[in-house]
Amino acid sequence: MADKGTGSGSDKGNPNGDSNENPVSDYRNTLENLVQQFQNSNPMGQQHKFWETQPVGQFKDVGNASVPEGSIEEPTPISEVKQEPYNLPSSYEWTVCDMNLDEVCAEVYTLLTNNYVEDDDHMFRFNYSKEFLRWALCSPGFFSNWHIGVRVKGSGKLVAFISGIPVKMRVRDQVFKMAEVNFLCVHKKLRSKRLAPVMIKEVTRRIHLENIWHAAYTAGVLLPTPMSTCQYWHRTLNPKKLIDVGFSRLGDRMTMSRAIKLYKLPTSTASSGLRKMERRDVPAIALLLRNYLSRYDVAPDFDEEEVEHWLLPRDNVVDCYLVESPETHEVTDFFSFYTLPSSILHNPNYSTLRAAYTFYYVSTKTPLLQLINDALIIAKLNDYDVFNALDVMENEAFLKELKFGPGDGQLFYYLYNYRFRQALKPSELGLVLL
């Protein structure tokens, strides 16, 4: 199991507003094409020895209609799962990271802040807040020993981390208990120690001990074998800052004043009955979301406790707004976004890029375009610099219209111990991983 910590995450945007040059999901990057590109650039075939030993779809099977879809390996008795942790190099030791302890949470935060996902040009690095990490890792039913650290024996310094959380995931018509694996991070100075494969095997071992045999994860790099290939899109909210820090650039036909005018938003929302979600709204939101996600081939199977955890607003972590009918008080629509800033590296004037990321939404009465435009307005009023969205779910329907521009990288979605005959289109995916 792996996560997006192995590749580019802070994708830079295109502020030109010329979306005709950037078709949404034209599927020019089919899985077959991506695999061909990988093989052409790696003629010795030596890049994925680890993943070739794992129960994941293999590149050699792509396009082979005779390969069955579904679980690759059947569960084994828990007694047959390795009971002892995998061996680390002699100067390192495993540790469980209790995120409820302030000092441990601070250690994980510091490790990620200094060593986690950067863009390819080393201009931006994800900067998950401590509150965000607790939200992401301490979800309902979480296992503390799935929050795995590696320390230096002599100093006790935390130098690597990987995590998992338990989820219920529907794949086609079957609901699986799964793990979502995330935040794989190794200190920059230790990248040659080959810690990552051992950490992946260790988190897999601990997940198996809970009788869970499947997992979902993302990466910014191509591994065997994605279930879907998605792209980040960026909606400029603060064009001057984004251009000043190098996140965006002015196109040949664009001036700063034109960019500011192009991305200007109304100062008030358009949806009647729009308000912030409250705890009393959990049952209504859960019902809307479960019905909505049922249309996708892969999506989480949320219960009310999980909806409360993931969507109830938390300052500078996650926001959720709903539309309540003024007449009937029925909750008909909602949208949510989470807050994930990036550190701005090597810039004398700015240190933080404040970014909102589209999370889950449902549109039944309010047009989706209007709903998401209201989300942009709220984000702008709360001093976000950019609003990001993947091309999953129905996002294609609003990306061009609301002046999102494509980022310069891709995000690959994976399932562990599950093989698809054919890769899913992003629009067949109802899953957002943090």
SS3 of residue 338 by DSSP: strand
Report the C-alpha gap between 250 and 99 in whole angstroms.
Answer: 42
* Cross-strand partners of 186: 160
In order of 93, 200, 224, 225, 416, the CA distances from 54 in angstroms are: 24, 11, 9, 11, 8
Report the C-alpha gap between 387 and 232 in whole angstroms.
Answer: 10
Catalytic residue (one of 112, 288, 371, 434): 434
Report the C-alpha gap between 355 and 238 in whole angstroms.
Answer: 10
In order of 100, 115, 128, 202, the CA distances from 191 in angstroms are: 28, 10, 21, 17
Q: Which two tokens stand for residue 15?
A: 């502020």
User: Among this protein's residues, is 434 annotated catalytic?
Assistant: yes
* Radius of gyration of the chain measured on its C-alpha atoms: 22
Cβ-defined contacts of 316-320 (< 8 Å, 24+)? 316/129, 316/131, 316/132, 317/129, 317/131, 317/132, 317/135, 318/135, 318/359, 319/276, 319/356, 319/378, 320/276, 320/277, 320/285, 320/359
Q: Which residues are catalytic?
A: 434
